Amino acid sequence: MNIHGIKPYLVAGTLALAAQTADAWDDAQFRCPAGQAIQGVDVATHTLICIPVSASSADIAALVARVTALESEAANERNARLAADNALQANLSSEAAARAAADTTLQGNINAEAITRIAEDGTTLASAKAYTDTKVAEGGGGGALSFLQPYISLEVNPINGVNGPHIIFSGANVHVRSGSGRTDDNNTPTGLGNLIVGYDEQQTEAVSRTGSHNLIVGGQHSFTRYGGLAAGAANTLDGVSAFAAGVRNVASGDFSSVTGGAGNFAGGGSSSISGGQENMTVEVASSVTGGRQNTASGVYASVTGGFTNAAAAEGSSVSGGQGNVAFLPFQHVP
């Protein structure tokens, strides 16, 4: 509503109303002539200040109607805004109540879920404990651990000069198994069931440790078959039930053995090297007792000792010396 647009009408109306108050019986000094209206009072002369009135009765009536209409519109607008504000406040209150109710419901659901989970966790833990207790009580091979007490004891003090603690097995056998059901792992070693005494550290070069059911004592050993024994350092078991002691010796033939020394190679099945250095057996049941760089390459051949000797034929032998060769079957070189 533009109030400035009706300002002339308001002035005219005011003057007209002022003119209407000047009755005929009023003293002349207290009224304006006809067609004029009071504008103000001259205090010094105690007279009215009059101005001509140009507004007609129709203009005044229109102005009054317009003012009345504007007042009605303003009242309607105010009432509409109040109603809208009340409706908005009601909606906000309703939304707040709904959200509070939803939050209460959600919190109740969360609390119920937490209680349920706590109860389920308690049940799970109780079941796990019961399962663990049962498995511990069952022990291995069907016997309860309590049954092992007569056969296992702990001694924390030294025994025969060896510092404790000691775990002692008495009156029982101890079995170390791969789990395959056979000592040979059905000719496919699993790398399990080995008894390793020490750490068996790795060598600088790569070695294979895929064998099963071997006794390994020391470090840096390699074992690829089953039923063998390695003791010392960096020995290799490549034969079934082979034995290698000393350092960097190889028992490659099945049932072959190197009892000691260094750098020896027992390649024949059931062949043996008792000691020495860099000696070799090649054929079945051949042997080298000692010395260095001796070779027994014939079946059943043997070299007792010496240096760079060779028993090259079946059943041949060399007792010792240097550079001797027995190249005929069953030949002996003293």
Domain boundary among 174, 193, 219: 174
Q: What is the pLDDT of residues 118-147, one digit of tens each?
A: 988 888 888 887 877 776 666 545 555 677
Residue 259 lies in a domain: no
Residue 144 lies in a domain: yes
Q: Domain residues for 169?
A: 139-174
Which whole number is the average pLDDT over 221-240?
Answer: 98
Residue 42 lies in a domain: yes
Residue 34 lies in a domain: yes
Domain boundary among 123, 148, 174: 174
Q: By percentage, how much of the chain surpasses pLDDT 90?
A: 65
Q: Which residues contact 145 (CB under 8 A, 6 or more apart)?
A: 136, 137, 139
Residue 10 lies in a domain: yes
Two tokens, residue 71: 């007042």
Q: What is the pLDDT of residues 52-65, one digit of tens each?
A: 766 667 777 787 78
Q: What is the pLDDT of residues 64-108, one digit of tens each?
A: 788 888 889 888 999 999 999 999 999 999 999 999 999 999 999
Residue 148 lies in a domain: yes
Residue 266 lies in a domain: no
Domain boundary among 20, 36, 55: 55
From CA 305, how far away is CA 25, in angstroms rounded? 171
Number of domains composing the chain = 2
With a cut of 60, say whether residue 8 has pLDDT above it: no
From CA 282, how far away is CA 277, in angstroms rounded? 16
Which whole number is the average pLDDT over 194-221?
Answer: 95
Two tokens, residue 141: 């091979």
pLDDT for the residue numbered 29: 59
pLDDT for the residue numbered 143: 53
Residue 153 lies in a domain: yes
